[in-house]
Amino acid sequence: MTADLVTPNALATGGSWTGRASRRGREPLLEQSPGSDSPVGPLWASLVEVLGAIDGPSSALLATADGQAVAVHGLARADVARVARRSRAAFAARTPGGPDPDRVVDTVELTLGLRHTVIASVPSPARGRHLLTVTAQGVSVQVLEAWTRRLADDIHHAMPATA
């Protein structure tokens, strides 16, 4: 008796470890960075470098509030829109009463087994709110949340320069 391969949802799974796409017959993983003239570019490059140093699977997505991808690491092209939608839904379902996500960075943490996802709201008055979604396995949720929050804050301060 054999079991079918179950593909978990993209938001919960991430998946940037080497060879994953080819082993499962899926499309190659997408790497999309902000433009070279963008002040967000070096920040995104540091995120990709840190995620590459983690032993487990990882992925990241920076998207506008309406789901348009600004930067992608470790996701298949077909998963980007789904992760953006689920990130928006998870962020919208957070407990009310926190800071205004259109004015300051706020985060939501999700955990599925050993894999953690942190979604940060990145306000930008000139460009509208963005969501930064970082998923990783092999790192504590507290470290991932602190690091993602700091990166989101740095992106928040860099974005007005791109308006």
Please state, in angstroms and as integers, the Cα–Cα distance from residue 67 to each residue in 70, 73, 129, following that order.
Answer: 9, 15, 11
* 159 or 44, higher pLDDT: 44
Output the CATH code of domain 28-162.
3.30.450.30
CA distance 32 to 44: 10
pLDDT reported for residue 59: 94
State pLDDT tens for residues 32-91: 888 777 888 899 999 999 999 988 899 999 998 888 999 999 999 889 999 999 999 988
In this structure, how many other beta carbons lie within 10 angstroms of the beta carbon of residue 41?
16
- Would the pLDDT of 17 be above 60? no
Phi, psi (5° rounding) for residue 136?
-155, 150
User: Whole-angstrom Cα distance, residue 103 to residue 76?
Assistant: 31
- Residue 31, token pair as written in the block: 């790497």
**Better-scored residue on pLDDT, 10 or 139:** 139
| pLDDT value for 13 | 45
Question: Could you tell me the pTM of the whole model?
Answer: 0.78
Q: Say whether pLDDT at 31 is over 50.
A: yes
The helix/strand/coil state of 159 is: helix
Sequence-separated (6 or more) residues with CB below 8 Å from residue 49 = none
Taking residues 28-33, what's their average pLDDT?
Answer: 77
What's the pLDDT tens digit per position in 123-147?
A: 877 767 899 999 999 899 999 999 9
Residue-wise burial string across 24-34, b where 16 or more C-beta atoms lie within 10 A, e elsewhere: eeeeebbeebb
Question: Would the pLDDT of 12 be above 50?
Answer: no
Would you say residue 160 has pLDDT above 90? no
SS3 content of the chain, % helix, strand, coil (to 5): 35, 25, 35
Q: What is the DSSP letter of 13?
A: H
Q: What is the largest CA-CA distance in the chain?
A: 59
User: What integer pLDDT is reported at residue 161 of this predicted model?
Assistant: 47
Domain coordinates in residue numbering, the chain: 28-162
